[in-house]
């Protein structure tokens, strides 16, 4: 999910530093620590605002979905 986000940002001429807020939907909140680890590998401080929400079911039975707001 994070790699897809990076690719979408790049296609718009943006990078992770342009992300203002991200909402991360996870299928299992037990993956929260892993989400934090991967998030910190993609984003640099100061991190964008973020919320993590457990979803009952994600599209295509995915494990993670990310919605982000970015600005130039």
For residue 63, the domain's CATH number is 3.30.1330.40
What is the residue range of 23's domain? 2-70
pLDDT band (50, 70, 90) for residue 1 = confident
Number of domains in the chain: 1
* d(C-alpha 62, C-alpha 72), whole Å: 29
pLDDT digits (tens, 9 = 90+) for 3-40: 999 999 999 999 999 999 999 999 999 999 999 999 99
pTM of the model: 0.89
């Amino acid at each position: 999910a994070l790699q897809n986000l990076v690719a979408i940002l790049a296609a718009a001429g943006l990078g992770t530093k342009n992300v203002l807020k991200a909402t991360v939907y996870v299928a299992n909140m037990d993956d929260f620590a892993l989400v934090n680890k991967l998030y910190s590998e993609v984003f640099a401080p100061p991190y964008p605002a973020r919320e993590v929400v457990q979803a009952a079911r994600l599209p295509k039975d995915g494990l993670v979905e990310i919605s982000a707001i970015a600005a130039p």
